[in-house]
Protein backbone atom coordinates (compact mmCIF):
# COMPACT_ATOMS: atom_id res chain seq x y z
CA UNK A 1 0.00 0.00 0.00
CA UNK A 2 1.54 3.29 -1.13
CA UNK A 3 0.54 6.44 0.75
CA UNK A 4 0.12 9.28 -1.75
CA UNK A 5 2.17 12.23 -0.49
CA UNK A 6 1.78 10.61 2.92
CA UNK A 7 -1.63 10.30 4.53
CA UNK A 8 -2.68 13.33 2.50
CA UNK A 9 -6.38 12.73 3.14
CA UNK A 10 -5.71 13.52 6.81
CA UNK A 11 -2.74 15.91 6.95
CA UNK A 12 -1.21 18.59 4.69
CA UNK A 13 0.59 16.71 1.94
CA UNK A 14 4.29 15.96 1.77
CA UNK A 15 5.04 16.73 5.39
CA UNK A 16 6.79 14.57 7.95
CA UNK A 17 3.50 14.60 9.86
CA UNK A 18 1.67 13.15 6.84
CA UNK A 19 4.37 10.53 6.25
CA UNK A 20 4.47 9.44 9.88
CA UNK A 21 0.69 9.11 10.04
CA UNK A 22 0.67 7.06 6.82
CA UNK A 23 3.09 4.59 8.36
CA UNK A 24 1.01 4.38 11.54
CA UNK A 25 -2.03 3.62 9.35
CA UNK A 26 -0.24 0.65 7.83
CA UNK A 27 1.26 1.92 4.58
CA UNK A 28 4.05 -0.25 3.14
CA UNK A 29 5.52 2.67 1.23
CA UNK A 30 5.22 6.43 1.08
CA UNK A 31 5.01 8.27 -2.22
CA UNK A 32 6.62 11.67 -2.54
CA UNK A 33 7.66 14.19 -5.17
CA UNK A 34 11.13 15.69 -5.44
CA UNK A 35 12.28 19.09 -6.69
CA UNK A 36 15.48 21.02 -5.93
CA UNK A 37 15.83 24.39 -4.23
CA UNK A 38 17.95 27.10 -5.83
CA UNK A 39 20.99 25.74 -4.01
CA UNK A 40 20.31 22.15 -5.04
CA UNK A 41 18.69 20.63 -1.93
CA UNK A 42 16.12 17.96 -2.79
CA UNK A 43 12.83 18.72 -1.05
CA UNK A 44 9.38 17.18 -1.06
CA UNK A 45 6.93 19.25 -3.10
CA UNK A 46 4.54 18.19 -5.83
CA UNK A 47 4.16 21.67 -7.32
CA UNK A 48 7.05 23.89 -8.24
CA UNK A 49 4.74 26.78 -7.30
CA UNK A 50 4.34 27.15 -3.54
CA UNK A 51 1.21 29.18 -2.81
CA UNK A 52 -1.28 26.27 -2.77
CA UNK A 53 0.59 24.20 -0.21
CA UNK A 54 2.55 26.70 1.91
CA UNK A 55 2.05 30.11 3.54
CA UNK A 56 4.53 31.79 1.21
CA UNK A 57 2.06 34.58 0.34
CA UNK A 58 2.12 35.73 3.96
CA UNK A 59 5.88 36.32 3.93
CA UNK A 60 6.52 39.98 3.02
CA UNK A 61 10.25 39.37 2.73
CA UNK A 62 9.50 37.08 -0.24
CA UNK A 63 6.94 39.30 -1.98
CA UNK A 64 9.45 40.36 -4.61
CA UNK A 65 10.05 36.73 -5.64
CA UNK A 66 6.57 36.34 -7.14
CA UNK A 67 6.79 36.00 -10.91
CA UNK A 68 5.42 34.28 -14.01
CA UNK A 69 7.19 31.40 -15.72
CA UNK A 70 6.49 28.70 -18.30
CA UNK A 71 6.95 25.07 -17.25
CA UNK A 72 6.34 22.25 -19.74
CA UNK A 73 4.44 24.64 -21.99
CA UNK A 74 2.11 25.97 -19.28
CA UNK A 75 2.06 29.44 -17.74
CA UNK A 76 2.42 29.62 -13.94
CA UNK A 77 2.44 32.63 -11.63
CA UNK A 78 3.54 32.60 -8.04
CA UNK A 79 6.50 31.69 -5.87
CA UNK A 80 8.67 28.79 -6.96
CA UNK A 81 10.82 26.28 -5.11
CA UNK A 82 13.75 26.75 -7.45
CA UNK A 83 13.83 30.52 -6.79
CA UNK A 84 14.39 30.04 -3.06
CA UNK A 85 17.38 28.77 -1.16
CA UNK A 86 16.79 25.93 1.25
CA UNK A 87 17.09 28.35 4.17
CA UNK A 88 14.40 30.58 2.64
CA UNK A 89 12.13 27.63 1.88
CA UNK A 90 12.53 26.40 5.44
CA UNK A 91 10.96 29.61 6.75
CA UNK A 92 7.63 28.57 5.20
CA UNK A 93 4.94 26.43 6.78
CA UNK A 94 2.82 23.86 4.97
CA UNK A 95 -0.94 24.12 4.48
CA UNK A 96 -3.72 21.89 3.16
CA UNK A 97 -4.17 22.03 -0.63
CA UNK A 98 -7.96 21.55 -0.41
CA UNK A 99 -9.12 23.21 2.84
CA UNK A 100 -12.84 23.19 1.91
CA UNK A 101 -12.73 19.50 1.03
CA UNK A 102 -10.47 18.46 3.92
CA UNK A 103 -11.04 20.82 6.86
CA UNK A 104 -9.74 18.29 9.40
CA UNK A 105 -6.43 18.30 7.55
CA UNK A 106 -6.47 22.10 7.27
CA UNK A 107 -6.67 22.22 11.07
CA UNK A 108 -3.01 21.17 10.97
CA UNK A 109 -1.95 24.11 8.78
CA UNK A 110 1.20 25.87 9.88
CA UNK A 111 2.65 23.02 11.93
CA UNK A 112 5.12 21.56 9.44
CA UNK A 113 8.07 22.74 7.39
CA UNK A 114 8.88 21.49 3.91
CA UNK A 115 10.96 18.35 4.50
CA UNK A 116 14.09 17.29 2.69
CA UNK A 117 14.36 13.91 1.01
CA UNK A 118 17.09 13.02 3.49
CA UNK A 119 14.75 13.67 6.43
CA UNK A 120 12.10 11.40 4.94
CA UNK A 121 14.62 8.59 4.48
CA UNK A 122 15.61 8.97 8.15
CA UNK A 123 11.94 8.67 9.15
CA UNK A 124 11.53 5.58 6.99
CA UNK A 125 14.63 3.93 8.43
CA UNK A 126 13.40 4.55 11.96
CA UNK A 127 10.02 3.01 11.13
CA UNK A 128 11.67 0.03 9.43
CA UNK A 129 13.69 -0.57 12.59
CA UNK A 130 10.54 -0.42 14.69
CA UNK A 131 8.69 -2.85 12.41
CA UNK A 132 11.61 -5.16 11.90
CA UNK A 133 11.05 -5.15 8.14
CA UNK A 134 11.66 -2.76 5.23
CA UNK A 135 9.58 0.32 4.54
CA UNK A 136 9.64 1.49 0.95
CA UNK A 137 9.66 4.90 -0.70
CA UNK A 138 8.25 5.72 -4.13
CA UNK A 139 9.94 8.95 -5.22
CA UNK A 140 8.71 10.85 -8.27
CA UNK A 141 11.19 13.12 -10.04
CA UNK A 142 9.24 16.20 -11.11
CA UNK A 143 9.83 18.21 -14.30
CA UNK A 144 13.33 16.82 -14.99
CA UNK A 145 13.79 18.69 -18.28
CA UNK A 146 12.85 22.02 -16.71
CA UNK A 147 15.07 21.33 -13.72
CA UNK A 148 17.91 20.56 -16.15
CA UNK A 149 17.40 23.99 -17.74
CA UNK A 150 18.05 25.53 -14.31
CA UNK A 151 21.42 23.82 -14.09
CA UNK A 152 20.42 20.90 -11.88
CA UNK A 153 20.44 17.27 -13.00
CA UNK A 154 17.97 15.11 -11.08
CA UNK A 155 19.85 11.88 -11.89
CA UNK A 156 23.01 13.45 -10.47
CA UNK A 157 21.21 14.87 -7.42
CA UNK A 158 19.95 11.40 -6.50
CA UNK A 159 23.16 9.61 -7.45
CA UNK A 160 24.31 9.31 -3.85
CA UNK A 161 20.96 7.94 -2.70
CA UNK A 162 21.57 4.21 -2.66
CA UNK A 163 18.74 3.25 -0.35
CA UNK A 164 17.77 -0.33 -1.28
CA UNK A 165 14.03 0.27 -0.99
CA UNK A 166 13.59 3.43 -3.03
CA UNK A 167 11.66 3.15 -6.29
CA UNK A 168 12.11 6.04 -8.71
CA UNK A 169 9.16 7.25 -10.76
CA UNK A 170 8.61 9.81 -13.50
CA UNK A 171 6.40 10.70 -16.44
CA UNK A 172 9.64 11.47 -18.27
CA UNK A 173 11.07 8.35 -19.93
CA UNK A 174 14.40 10.04 -20.60
CA UNK A 175 15.23 10.55 -16.93
CA UNK A 176 14.24 6.95 -16.13
CA UNK A 177 16.47 5.63 -18.90
CA UNK A 178 19.33 7.68 -17.53
CA UNK A 179 18.74 6.20 -14.09
CA UNK A 180 18.62 2.72 -15.63
CA UNK A 181 22.01 3.33 -17.22
CA UNK A 182 23.29 4.36 -13.79
CA UNK A 183 22.34 0.94 -12.44
CA UNK A 184 18.93 1.65 -10.92
CA UNK A 185 16.51 -1.24 -11.31
CA UNK A 186 13.46 -0.05 -9.37
CA UNK A 187 11.87 2.29 -11.90
CA UNK A 188 8.22 3.07 -12.61
CA UNK A 189 7.11 4.78 -15.80
CA UNK A 190 4.07 6.99 -15.16
CA UNK A 191 1.46 7.72 -17.81
CA UNK A 192 -1.26 10.36 -18.04
CA UNK A 193 -3.18 8.26 -20.58
CA UNK A 194 -3.44 4.54 -21.19
CA UNK A 195 -0.17 3.34 -22.75
CA UNK A 196 -0.40 1.21 -25.84
CA UNK A 197 1.38 -2.05 -26.46
CA UNK A 198 4.42 -0.37 -27.98
CA UNK A 199 4.72 1.88 -24.93
CA UNK A 200 4.68 -1.12 -22.60
CA UNK A 201 7.26 -2.86 -24.76
CA UNK A 202 9.54 0.17 -24.54
CA UNK A 203 9.01 0.59 -20.80
CA UNK A 204 9.90 -3.05 -20.16
CA UNK A 205 13.44 -2.38 -21.39
CA UNK A 206 14.23 -0.07 -18.46
CA UNK A 207 11.34 -0.07 -15.95
CA UNK A 208 10.04 -2.58 -13.44
CA UNK A 209 6.53 -1.15 -13.38
CA UNK A 210 4.05 1.33 -14.80
CA UNK A 211 1.75 3.75 -13.03
CA UNK A 212 -1.63 4.65 -14.50
CA UNK A 213 -4.87 6.33 -13.55
CA UNK A 214 -7.64 4.25 -12.02
CA UNK A 215 -9.78 4.53 -15.14
CA UNK A 216 -7.17 2.68 -17.19
CA UNK A 217 -7.91 -0.44 -15.13
CA UNK A 218 -11.52 0.22 -14.10
CA UNK A 219 -13.23 2.59 -16.53
CA UNK A 220 -16.61 4.22 -16.00
CA UNK A 221 -19.57 3.61 -18.26
CA UNK A 222 -21.65 6.36 -19.87
CA UNK A 223 -23.61 6.81 -16.65
CA UNK A 224 -20.43 7.41 -14.65
CA UNK A 225 -20.59 4.03 -12.92
CA UNK A 226 -17.61 1.75 -12.56
CA UNK A 227 -17.47 -0.76 -15.39
CA UNK A 228 -15.73 -4.09 -15.90
CA UNK A 229 -11.91 -4.16 -15.79
CA UNK A 230 -9.95 -3.68 -18.96
CA UNK A 231 -7.24 -6.08 -20.10
CA UNK A 232 -4.51 -3.58 -19.23
CA UNK A 233 -3.18 -5.37 -16.14
CA UNK A 234 -2.83 -8.65 -18.04
CA UNK A 235 -0.98 -6.93 -20.89
CA UNK A 236 1.43 -5.22 -18.50
CA UNK A 237 2.05 -8.43 -16.58
CA UNK A 238 2.94 -10.22 -19.81
CA UNK A 239 5.75 -7.67 -20.11
CA UNK A 240 6.82 -8.42 -16.50
CA UNK A 241 5.69 -4.94 -15.46
CA UNK A 242 3.97 -4.28 -12.15
CA UNK A 243 0.88 -2.08 -12.30
CA UNK A 244 0.51 0.80 -9.84
CA UNK A 245 -2.76 2.74 -9.85
CA UNK A 246 -3.15 6.38 -8.82
CA UNK A 247 -4.81 8.20 -7.14
CA UNK A 248 -7.34 6.50 -4.88
CA UNK A 249 -9.42 8.96 -2.83
CA UNK A 250 -12.45 8.57 -0.58
CA UNK A 251 -14.47 11.69 -1.39
CA UNK A 252 -17.61 11.27 -3.51
CA UNK A 253 -16.37 13.56 -6.25
CA UNK A 254 -13.46 11.18 -6.89
CA UNK A 255 -15.54 8.00 -6.92
CA UNK A 256 -17.74 6.39 -9.58
CA UNK A 257 -21.41 7.27 -9.18
CA UNK A 258 -22.39 3.85 -7.90
CA UNK A 259 -19.87 4.10 -5.05
CA UNK A 260 -20.95 7.51 -3.75
CA UNK A 261 -22.82 8.03 -0.49
CA UNK A 262 -25.11 11.04 -0.29
CA UNK A 263 -24.92 14.18 -2.42
CA UNK A 264 -22.09 16.09 -0.77
CA UNK A 265 -19.16 15.98 -3.22
CA UNK A 266 -16.77 16.29 -0.27
CA UNK A 267 -18.49 13.57 1.72
CA UNK A 268 -16.93 10.13 1.84
CA UNK A 269 -18.31 7.34 -0.27
CA UNK A 270 -17.40 3.67 -0.47
CA UNK A 271 -13.66 4.23 -0.69
CA UNK A 272 -12.72 0.81 0.62
CA UNK A 273 -14.94 -0.91 -1.93
CA UNK A 274 -13.36 1.15 -4.71
CA UNK A 275 -9.96 -0.11 -3.60
CA UNK A 276 -11.15 -3.72 -3.30
CA UNK A 277 -12.37 -3.65 -6.88
CA UNK A 278 -8.96 -2.51 -8.08
CA UNK A 279 -7.21 -5.34 -6.23
CA UNK A 280 -9.72 -7.75 -7.70
CA UNK A 281 -8.75 -6.41 -11.13
CA UNK A 282 -5.18 -7.59 -10.47
CA UNK A 283 -3.23 -4.43 -9.69
CA UNK A 284 0.04 -4.78 -7.80
CA UNK A 285 -0.11 -1.60 -5.72
CA UNK A 286 -2.51 1.21 -4.92
CA UNK A 287 -1.42 4.81 -4.44
CA UNK A 288 -3.92 6.34 -2.04
CA UNK A 289 -4.60 9.47 0.02
CA UNK A 290 -6.24 7.23 2.64
CA UNK A 291 -3.84 4.35 3.41
CA UNK A 292 -6.09 2.83 6.07
CA UNK A 293 -8.79 2.20 3.42
CA UNK A 294 -6.29 0.65 1.05
CA UNK A 295 -4.88 -1.60 3.76
CA UNK A 296 -8.37 -2.76 4.76
CA UNK A 297 -9.28 -3.39 1.12
CA UNK A 298 -6.14 -5.40 0.42
CA UNK A 299 -6.62 -7.51 3.53
CA UNK A 300 -10.26 -8.20 2.62
CA UNK A 301 -9.24 -9.21 -0.88
CA UNK A 302 -6.37 -11.41 0.30
CA UNK A 303 -8.56 -13.40 2.70
CA UNK A 304 -11.17 -13.89 0.01
CA UNK A 305 -14.07 -11.93 1.48
CA UNK A 306 -16.84 -11.31 -1.06
CA UNK A 307 -16.76 -7.90 -2.68
CA UNK A 308 -20.14 -6.19 -2.37
CA UNK A 309 -21.37 -4.66 -5.59
Give the dihedral sign, CA 286/290/293/299: positive
Angle at 22 between CA 12 and CA 115, to 5 degrees: 50
Strands 209-213 and 74-78, by their bridges, are unpaired
Q: How far is CA 53 from CA 29, 82, 138, 210, 246, in A?
A: 22, 15, 20, 27, 20
Q: Is a pLDDT exceeding 50 seen at residue 309?
A: no
Q: For the segment 207-226, what is each residue's pLDDT rounded down to a tens digit?
A: 999 999 999 999 999 999 99
Q: How far apart are CA 189 and CA 144, in angstroms?
A: 14
Percent of the chain with pLDDT over 90: 93
DSSP category for residue 284: S
Give the H/E segment covering residue 246. strand 242-248
Q: Provide the pLDDT for residue 307.
A: 54
| Residue 140 and residue 176 in contact, taking contact as beta carbons nearer than 8 Å | no
Checking if the pLDDT of 162 tops 90, the result is: no
* Mean pLDDT of all residues in 61-67: 97
pLDDT given for residue 109 in this prediction: 98
Share of the chain above pLDDT 70, in %: 98
Tens digits of residue pLDDT in 116-138: 999 999 999 999 999 999 999 99
Q: What is the pLDDT of residues 146-160, one digit of tens each?
A: 999 999 999 999 998
| Domains with residue ranges and CATH for the chain | 2-48+116-302 (3.20.20.190)
d(CA 46, CA 71): 14
Q: Which residues are catalytic?
A: 4, 46
Report the residue count for the chain. Answer: 309
pLDDT of res. 37: 98
Please determine, for residue 306, whether its predicted confidence score (pLDDT) is greater than 60.
no
SS3 257: helix
The tens digit of pLDDT for each residue in 248-286 reads 999 999 999 999 999 999 999 999 999 999 999 999 999
Amino acid sequence: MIAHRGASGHRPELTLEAFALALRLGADSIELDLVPTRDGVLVCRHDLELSRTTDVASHPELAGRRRTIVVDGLLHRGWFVHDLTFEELRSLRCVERWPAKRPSSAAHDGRSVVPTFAEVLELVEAEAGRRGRPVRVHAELKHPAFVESLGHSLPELVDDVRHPYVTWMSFDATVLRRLHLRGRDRLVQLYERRPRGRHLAAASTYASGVGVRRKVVLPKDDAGRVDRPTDFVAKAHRRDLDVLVWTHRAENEHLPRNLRVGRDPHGHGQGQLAAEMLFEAGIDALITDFPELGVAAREAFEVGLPIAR
